A and B are shown apart, each in its own frame.
Chain A
Amino acid sequence: MRFLKKDKVEKEDFMDLIFKYHLSMEKYHIHIIYEGQIDETITSAFISLAEKNMNKQNEDSKLIRKVYHIMVEFLQNIHKHADNPDRYDSLSNNRGIFLMASKDGGYVVVSGNFVLREKIPGLQDLLMKVNFMGAKEVKDYYQRKILNEGLSDKGGAGLGLVDIIRRSESKLEYRFENIDEKYSFFILKTYIAK
């Protein structure tokens, strides 16, 4: 009997949770939210879903393209750079949380993933550097990078963040939430105005 009771409580919790979740989705105009492994299949599925939604809403093709580009860079950032705490199994490699929502006529894209705390200073430096660049500097930086540097060992061109800034024309917002002595949770947000 105790089993049954526990079962019942859990079921109610989950149904409660789903409903709350649904209300939040509506409240924040969330189109996509996902937490888990990010790979090519997920990336493809999300960008085509987002494209379809934006087309249905008759969004301008330029805005659709910007959101599309930025989503790819966010998702590939997680895929390439997320560090996974040992407590997750190998199936959970390249894990992260991803959100895309409508806001004030434009779109918000947010991601979250674990990073090793030792990487934070480097990441902060890069974020501060690119956030303070003007349009011309961003372009020069981009050209310099593709010309002079090869791909990283992770196959990236090191241009994801710069490209996001270039296209969104807004500053990146970010935060690091400490998880334990080894890992932090890195949250990155951008806004793409109409």
Chain B
Amino acid sequence: MEALYLEETDETPGIKLDSEKNIFEFIGKSLPEDVATFYNPILDWLDEYSKNLNDTTEVVFKLDYFNTASSKMILDVLLKLEEFQESGKAVKVKWYYAEDDEDMEDAGNEYSEIVDVPFEFESYN
């Protein structure tokens, strides 16, 4: 299926969703005013991908900032991953956070409490 690549901007994260290369990444900042317009195509892509899942799907979140409206959309993305797992395929979330960014680490922890998929945490400088 066709990959979805979106360049990182000041308001939106860089997106790489590529089932052939098995790359799934959300990197940067997410504070668009209109979160639905930005995230709906991503959710649609994930729906399409769910029809033909890779054996393992490892999704990287390396965000340095997201606003509250995005937090809801990120949860929606994670809930899709939960569905993938329920269908019998392996799913893992790699949650990166800046070493001194406890809030981002906490945010990952909170998501991992809500969503039933394995999270791996990694800090960076």
Using CB atoms and an 8 Å cutoff, list the residues of chain A in contact with chain B: 39-40, 43-44, 48, 61-62, 65-66, 68-69, 72-73, 76, 79-80, 139, 142-143, 146-147, 150-151, 155-157, 159-160, 162-163, 167
Neighbour of A151 across the interface among B11, B72, B100, B110, CB < 8 A: B72
- Kindly provide the distance from the CB of A77 to the nearest chain B CB, expressed in whole angstroms: 10
Q: Measured between alpha carbons, how far is A184 from B90 in the docked complex, in Å? A: 54
Choose among A39, A61, A66, A73 the residue that contacts B67 (Cβ–Cβ < 8 A). Answer: A73
Closest approach, in angstroms, between the C-beta of B18 and any C-beta of chain A? 27
Q: Is B77 an interface residue (CB 8 A)?
A: no
User: Nearest Cβ distance between residue B31 and chain A, in whole angstroms?
Assistant: 5
Contacts of B10 in A (CB 8 A): 44, 48
Residue of B nearest to A159 (CB): B68
In the bound complex, residues from chain B placing their C-beta under 8 Å from that of A147 are: 75, 114
A146 to B70, CA, bound (A): 10
Among A65, A139, A160, contact of B101 (Cβ-Cβ < 8 Å): A65
**A159: which B residues are within 8 A, CB to CB?**
68-69, 71-72
Q: What are 9 A-B contacts defined by CB distance under 8 Å? A: A40-B11, A44-B10, A61-B100, A69-B67, A72-B31, A76-B69, A155-B69, A156-B69, A163-B68
User: When the two chains form their complex, are residues B33 and A143 in contact, meaning their CB atoms are under 8 A apart?
Assistant: no
Looking at the assembled complex, report how far the CB atom of A96 sits from the nearest CB atom of chain B, in whole angstroms: 14
The 0/1 profile, CB within 8 Å of A marked 1, for residues 48-76 of chain B is: 00000000000000000101110110010
Which B91-116 residues have C-beta < 8 A from chain A? 98, 100-103, 110, 113-114
Known interface pairs A43-B31, A155-B36; A146-B69 also in contact (CB < 8 Å): no
Query: Is B11 within 8 A of A44, CB to CB?
Result: yes
B67 in contact with A72 (CB, 8 Å): yes
Is B34 in contact with chain A by the CB < 8 A criterion? yes
Residue with the highest number of chain A CB atoms closer than 10 Å, among B11, B65, B68, B103: B68
Q: Indicate if the CB atoms of B67 and A62 lie closer than 8 Å.
A: no
- B43 CB–A CB distance under 8 Å: no
Q: Which of A62, A68, A163 contacts B65 (CB 8 A)?
A: A68
Complex Cα gap A39–B98 (Å):
28
Q: Considering the chains assembled together, what is the distance between the CA atoms of A61 and B36 in angstroms? A: 30
What residues of chain B lie closer than 8 Å to A76, measured between beta carbons?
Answer: 31, 33, 67, 69
Given A79-B33, A147-B75, A73 contacting B114 (CB threshold 8 A): no
Cα distance, A44 to B12, chains bound together (Å): 11
Give complex CA distance A69, B31 in Å. Answer: 10
Chain A neighbourhood of B100, CB < 8 A = 61-62
B46 within 8 A of partner (CB): no
Contact, CB under 8 Å: A157 / B68? yes
